[in-house]
Amino acid sequence: MNYLNEEMVYGKNPVVELLKSGKPVNKILLVTEGAGSRNQEIISLLHERNIPYQFVDRQTLDRLTNRERHQGMLAYVAAREYASVEDILALAEERQEAPFILMLDEIEDPHNLGALLRTVDAVGAHGVIIPKRRSVALTGTVAKTSAGAVEHVRVARVSNLVQTLNDLKKKGCWVSGAEAGGKDAFKADLTGPRVIVIGSEGKGISRLLRENCDEIVSLPMKGKITSLNASVAGSVMLYEVLRQRIYSN
């Protein structure tokens, strides 16, 4: 049996066929075997489809597969198909609305991503952008936490967040990064074509991405705690954008 559960496929032939099928794949794990190994066919396919991969020792795959016959390779399958940034913008155009997009910088907790997908759906935002590396992908846990929202929200997975951000700015989007030390989010103008950037649970927005935001906005904090969970902060920001869109008309 080459399938451990709905999120993992392992064994050389099943993984190769999975890649050839075009189905969404989050990441591939390969046992290190050196140049000229049987991994080369897989690696060529990974480069062709721009799928992240990582070399691990054989003991790691033995543990993940309960020592079943994995032949040195394992694939994590996405819970659903990824969209493109163009798909997200097309949805805004189809609805005749200014783009409303959430960009997540290295969110690693699947529960945070799942919760944010629920909020994105609730506020009517057009989609979410996540990085291909150092970030949780569309796993089964994300799908479950989203309570079905993963089926309705367009999620684009990109190689370079900064480049994507600058492309969106060229298309008329204004970028607001949510982080401590910025202007009061409730006093900022968040109307019009908008990208909201939320940083990782521990480090916040990365320096280069922060520098490419048009503004930094912050939620007022009146208590002893100085920061909020990423999904909570993101949800409050998204609802403030929705509030301004409704009441500015």
Give the helix ranges, DSSP H, for the chain: 12-21, 39-49, 58-64, 85-95, 110-123, 140-145, 161-170, 207-211, 230-247
Give one DSSP letter per residue of 124-151, joined into a string: T--EEEEESSSS--S-HHHHHHTTTGGG
Domain identity same for 59 and 105 = no
Strands 73-77 and 8-10: antiparallel
Q: Are residues 145 and 92 in the same domain?
A: yes
pLDDT tens-place string over residues 214-235 = 999 999 988 887 778 899 999 9
Does one domain contain both 68 and 120? no
Is 231 found in the same domain as 111? yes
Q: Which of 174, 89, 162, 81 is nearest to 125 (CA)?
A: 89
The reply to whether 108 and 140 lie within a common domain is: yes
Give the end of a domain, one of 77, 98, 120: 77
The answer to whether residues 44 and 95 belong to one domain is: no
Q: What is the pLDDT of residue 33?
A: 64
Residues 68 and 114 in one domain: no
3-class DSSP state of 177: strand
If asked whether residues 123 and 163 sit together in one domain, one would say yes
Number of domains making up the chain: 2
Last residue of a domain, one of 77, 97, 124: 77
pLDDT at res. 11 = 81
- What does the alpha-carbon distance between residue 217 and residue 187 come to, in Å, rounded to a whole number? 9
Contact present, 183 and 219 (Cβ < 8 Å): no
Task: Say whether both 60 and 134 belong to one domain.
Answer: no
Q: What is the mean pLDDT of the chain?
A: 87
DSSP result, 31-70: E---TTSTHHHHHHHHHHHT--EEEE-HHHHHHHTTT---
* Domain end (from 77, 111, 127): 77
pLDDT at 36: 47
Nearest to 139 by CA among 121, 119, 122, 155: 155
CA distance 113 to 69: 32
Tell me the pTM.
0.81
Same domain, 122 and 71: no
pLDDT score at 3: 32
Say which CATH number the domain at 137 has: 3.40.1280.10
Domain at 10, CATH number: 3.30.1330.30
- Residue 19 confidence (pLDDT): 81
Residue 142's closest CA among 80, 200, 99?
Answer: 80
pLDDT under 50: residue ranges of the chain: 1-6, 35-36
Question: Which structural domain, as residue segments, surrounds residue 9?
Answer: 3-77
Same structural domain, 92 and 207: yes
| 97 & 118 share domain | yes
